[in-house]
Amino acid sequence: MEAFLTAENAIALATLAGLEIVLGIDNIVFIAILTQKLPPANQMLARRIGLLAAMFMRIGLLLVIGWVMGLTAILFSVFEQPFSGRDLILLGGGLFLVAKATWEIHDKLEGEEEADASLRAASMGSVIIQIMLLDIVFSLDSVITAVGMANEIAVMIAAVVLSVGVMLLFAETISRFIEDHPTMKMLALSFLILIGVVLMLEGLGKHVEKGYIYFAMAFALMVELVNLGVRKRSPVRLKQTRVVRDDHVQRATGVAGVEGRSGSESSVGEA
């Protein structure tokens, strides 16, 4: 408890918890998309299991922090490119993310999701396994960030628990929002491809500034939110007005035509 009483540790806790939440957003998106394959009754349970598994995995990695930091030791080199245990995990996780997101996009565009929901429903076990595999990648990045920002293990663990608690509160809302808006699901899948590519680049030793990635994702999200707002307030009235105006023109033309015909008929009759 004394570790949290100093101003330095309190600031580190608040900052690290905020960063953990930001780093966990992509995890929430991935879990939300994966759990949509489950029957509706099991989706909330799977999301909670996935986030809690991520929390315990991060705490476990923090407790064996010496082993985690040892993953940066060079194992072998390929064409003068060195690879460590961390690099291999990032490469594998990035490839998995890109492949999974690409498959989901193909599934969505081909319209196979609605073909037979009972046959295509995923099992709880397979979804949890996929979540656990990606939790390893996301947890590794999160733990390395925590080690770089705080000195006390207790502060790191508290930040992880706090961030997962916040994510549990908003996971259902985010999942429902993605499910209700197909375009947001496509955007989220595009984010996962982007994150997967970044992970692969990191695994190849090419550092990518996270700020640029988050800015691009935030900008794309804002544009899509604006599009959603515009679609909700779509100018239907203008179209109706145009139709009404066209009807008025047609009626006026019809009246004029009738009057013209009646006038010509009357002139013929008089003749």
Lowest average pLDDT, out of 47-56, 108-117, 228-237, goes to 108-117
What does the radius of gyration of the chain's CA atoms come to, in whole angstroms? Answer: 28
pTM, two decimal places: 0.60
Give first-to-last CA distance, the chain, whole Å.
112
User: What pLDDT does residue 260 have?
Assistant: 53
Distance between CA 117 and CA 39 in Å, rounded?
Answer: 9
Average pLDDT over residues 145-149: 65
Is 179:78 a contact under the CB 8 Å cutoff? no
Distance between CA 114 and CA 166 in Å, rounded?
Answer: 33
pLDDT tens track for 112-129? 444 444 444 567 888 888
pLDDT tens track for 161-218? 888 888 888 878 877 777 777 787 788 778 878 888 888 888 888 888 877 877 888 8
Phi-psi bin for 152: left (phi > 0), alpha (psi -120 to 50), beta? beta
Residue with tokens 């035509």, as numbered in its chain: 257
